[in-house]
Amino acid sequence: MNDREILHRIHLILWFAITMITGILAGFLTSHSVMLGRYFSWLIESDNYQVFTDTFSVFREATHANIHYNISLWASFVIGIVWTVFCFIVKKNRVTALIAGLSSLWVGCVFFASGFSSAEEAVCTGTADEAVRQFFVSWNIPMHTSFAVFYTACFFLLLFSMFRTARGAFSNLHAKG
């Protein structure tokens, strides 16, 4: 096996990994947008914030649920960067890599630059004042829904990119045979 074949195999393995993680993140964020995030917002809006802080912070501490989610985000971030580099090395799927391969980079930029990450942490730990809680409620569903849509679009973009690549490889193989 020559170096070019090794690079293409690594490219394919990384594509598979980033596609699977992107699909998982799309599911996480869709679930949050449809159910969990709405529940959080409802608790705050209905003056049940104390119920939220009494239960959710304990739940997070006991289950480490946020760690599982963060592992997926960090894996997406790292694998996405590596896959993007490989896309430029093998000169395939470069536009897809810049959009979908770096999806967690783009989401992270919006999440942190908007200040929502700090607000979310304050709300989840029970340290948020009224203004922060209102900011959280006003941004929670729109932000997570936009992330869900973006990750879902990226997932399909990744699937389509490999379909195109595989179809082209099959056509070349068929033409030679």
Beta carbons within 8 Å of 25's beta carbon, 6+ residues apart = 72, 73, 76, 103, 104, 151
Cα–Cα dist 138/159, whole Å: 33
Residue 170, CA distances (Å) to 48, 67, 102, 124, 163 in order:
58, 41, 28, 51, 10
Task: Show pLDDT as tens, one digit a residue, over the chain (177 residues).
Answer: 788 889 989 999 999 999 999 999 999 999 999 999 999 999 999 999 999 888 988 888 899 888 988 999 999 999 999 999 999 999 999 999 999 999 999 999 999 999 999 999 999 888 999 999 999 999 999 999 999 999 999 999 999 998 877 665 545 555 555
